[in-house]
Structure 1
């Protein structure tokens, strides 16, 4: 019996962080990564809620600024952890404790969103103290991970040290920004510079310092999982809108339309995202990894903003919103349009091509969203307008192949990268 228990007792002993095999078969997300992702449920939820409140108070500009900063911080924190884990996850007790510290940082950062949004709305000084404190805690924990990798993986030491140095330098500047008393516009200029520094570090490390052994299929799966978490805000917004309709009118056709619209929109956005064979694209185009890593920031922000828009629609139905019917529909339609465009953009930059069909589908999507806005201007009920918005993702998923799946007709840039459509289907369903 002791022999049987011995492996389990030593499973999480300290291991050498020498780098994972980028071609490791059957690499999937770990339970620790899934637990880590739960903190981002909270972060996205708070960001969406604060954005909604500024929208219904008609502080749209302030809401967009605050939401942009919050969603970048959330997405960037997740991206850095996930790419590091893809290359260096040892799952030993030190790695687990460092991950827990990053989870604490995410929660603290999220708790800093309300004062940050409120200060942006007031237009004086951006109160980002709690938010930056949580962000720095999370990032410094990651610095420790990169330094450990640098010490134990000589082959990729230069890249690991570049990551550690860039993160440390950026965090020092973030801390300084807390004590700089500037106006909101100046603060966001400073933020833009700091974001540039944050994003420059990985670019240098991966292209000029040898890179790291990340796993394409693992990364693609991780992005898919975070997308599903973000889509949860659409479900939350649907429930909020449905509750408002039932409270105002009881169970009516409008209530049914809201359920169909909210769930249908969320489902359609999910379908659109997972139409693209992302793992195969990233595996074949590793040199395009930065596009794959950064474009989804826009995609994820648009998804969360859609949920916030649905929540704003609930406030409108309850007569607790300063927005007009048209403006309320726009809070949903605009992020849906941005989301759709970002999905096609990722396809285009990964394959370095723009297909006429995709451009046509984008135009049709915009047309559907424009119809929804026009209906709102014509006095049609909010539930019916949202139902029309739901048709927007249908435009993208309707062109199917003969087998009935919506796999895009991928045109690989080099013959060696050709993959059969059957392999894409097998991967998605495997």
Structure 2
């Protein structure tokens, strides 16, 4: 009997709320696999942005990139916060998570078509809806097993389900290439963003684990920054037996910038200092711009490699700005989600200032090296000022 109970408990156990103060809570192997699958979709979006800019279709490419990235990020974010609150690691939970991964891979397969001259939303929307419907089932399980938060969990399930009906109607219209279609997509995105803001206040907040959430976001950021390292390695592979000093500069600059972005993110000041809902929403939603810009830096370096190797006819300054703009957005986003709360004095604004200096560097002739120098110097100055202004809190491991 005990073996039979153990088997049943493994397959389907109550989806009870996790302890938000649990000690030594860490990312699980399933969550890491989910991240890896999500990054495949992120890489597809970054590749689409790279080719759109290199082929002189930057405006359309940026809009499509933002649309694709929002779908990837929002599905990742919702699962991440849910798993922080309710992960019980039974077989049903694992299988539903794998359905989420299947939807993510479907989105990744459709992103290239989305960047074509006639964007086709079918695979992206269907993959996204599959992921979101799997989340509906997870929220309904949580509602059944957590009576104290049942209203909130049911609101999540109903809200997500209704928005998916909207997306399927949107898919049937295929209006994305029109201005009205873009407006409808923005409306759908706002509806998605509204679900947590409406559901969470209905009862006490879902029991997400603060340090676990910060670790999950940090891990995805590391993987996203790998896009820039990949672009740097591509620059070195372009030699084809002939030395090119500009490619060496590009690879070295990519290395300096990715180290600066990593160091800026993983400063000693804590990212999320409380469980307050408004703070959590600002921090969680604001990371869209951090992840989006981090991946776009890699796309910018890929554009530079194309220009240097004459695979693109764009002027070099366009490639420089394809790097400088996302670096500035990354720094500004870090100010929005962390530094304006965690720092005092001049250190609070250091990343904003040096992001702007990086934007000015190509215009005054310093080019890519100037962008890399301002990024590195910005992190040094910011950390020095922040340490002088307030004592750095102990870093949780």
Measured against the shorter chain, the TM-score band is over 0.9
1-side partners of 2:386 and 2:7: how far apart? 45
CA RMSD of aligned residues (A): 2.5
Question: Corresponding residue for 1:367?
Answer: 357
1-side partners of 2:340 and 2:354: how far apart? 21
1-side partners of 2:82 and 2:174: how far apart? 34
State the Cα deviation string for residues 386-430 of structure 1 (Å, max 9, x = none). 2322123213321377xxx8965686xxxxxxxx63523xx2xx3
2-side partners of 1:349 and 1:407: how far apart? 11
Question: Corresponding residue for 1:306?
Answer: 297
Instruction: Say which SS state the counterpart of residue 282 (structure 1) adopts.
Output: coil
State the Cα deviation string for residues 99-150 of structure 1 (Å, max 9, x = none). 000000000011111111114xx5xxx4101100000011101100000110
**Structure 1 residues 347 and 311, CA, compared in 2 at 3 Å: closer, same or farther?**
same
Q: Give 1:282 deviation, angstroms.
A: 3.4
Q: Give 1:12 deviation, angstroms.
A: 3.1
Aligned residues: 395
Question: Corresponding residue for 2:228?
Answer: 234
**Structure 1 residues 162 and 99, CA, compared in 2 at 3 Å: closer, same or farther?**
same
2-side partners of 1:194 and 1:340: how far apart? 28
Instruction: Say which SS state the counterpart of residue 172 (structure 1) adopts.
Output: helix
CA contact (8 A) 2:268 2:393 kept: no
Question: Corresponding residue for 1:417?
Answer: none
**Structure 1 residues 197 and 10, CA, compared in 2 at 3 Å: closer, same or farther?**
same
Question: Corresponding residue for 1:323?
Answer: 314
Does residue 168 of the first structure (1) align with residue 166 of the second (2)?
Answer: no
CA contact (8 A) 1:12 1:92 kept: yes
Instruction: Say which SS state the counterpart of residue 364 (structure 1) adopts.
Output: helix
**Structure 1 residues 349 and 132, CA, compared in 2 at 3 Å: closer, same or farther?**
farther
**Structure 1 residues 349 and 76, CA, compared in 2 at 3 Å: closer, same or farther?**
farther
1-side partners of 2:64 and 2:382: how far apart? 39
Instruction: Say which SS state the counterpart of residue 179 (structure 1) adopts.
Output: helix
Q: Give 1:205 deviation, angstroms.
A: 1.2
Q: Give 1:325 deviation, angstroms.
A: 1.2
**Structure 1 residues 78 and 241, CA, compared in 2 at 3 Å: closer, same or farther?**
same
1-side partners of 2:334 and 2:289: how far apart? 9
CA contact (8 A) 1:368 1:389 kept: yes
Instruction: Say which SS state the counterpart of residue 348 (structure 2) adopts.
Output: helix
**Structure 1 residues 354 and 113, CA, compared in 2 at 3 Å: closer, same or farther?**
farther
**Structure 1 residues 359 and 38, CA, compared in 2 at 3 Å: closer, same or farther?**
same
Q: Give 1:235 deviation, angstroms.
A: 1.0
Q: Give 1:335 deviation, angstroms.
A: 0.5
1:228-377 aligned at under 5 Å gives the runs 228-244=222-238, 246-247=239-240, 250-275=242-267, 277-278=269-270, 281-283=272-274, 285=276, 287-348=278-339, 350=341, 355-375=345-365
Q: Which runs of 5+ in 1 are unaligned?
A: 377-384, 412-419
State the Cα deviation string for residues 69-112 of structure 1 (Å, max 9, x = none). 01111110100000000000000000000000000000001111
Question: Corresponding residue for 2:195?
Answer: 201
Q: Which runs of 5+ in 2 are unaligned?
A: none
1-side partners of 2:188 and 2:197: how far apart? 15
TM-score, reference length from structure 2: 0.92
Divergent runs of 4+, >6 A: 5-11
CA contact (8 A) 2:50 2:303 kept: yes
2-side partners of 1:276 and 1:171: how far apart? 40
2-side partners of 1:421 and 1:285: how far apart? 22
CA contact (8 A) 1:276 1:347 kept: no
**Structure 1 residues 188 and 406, CA, compared in 2 at 3 Å: closer, same or farther?**
same
Q: Give 1:321 deviation, angstroms.
A: 1.2
2-side partners of 1:361 and 1:135: how far apart? 34
2-side partners of 1:240 and 1:172: how far apart? 42
Q: Give 1:229 deviation, angstroms.
A: 1.1
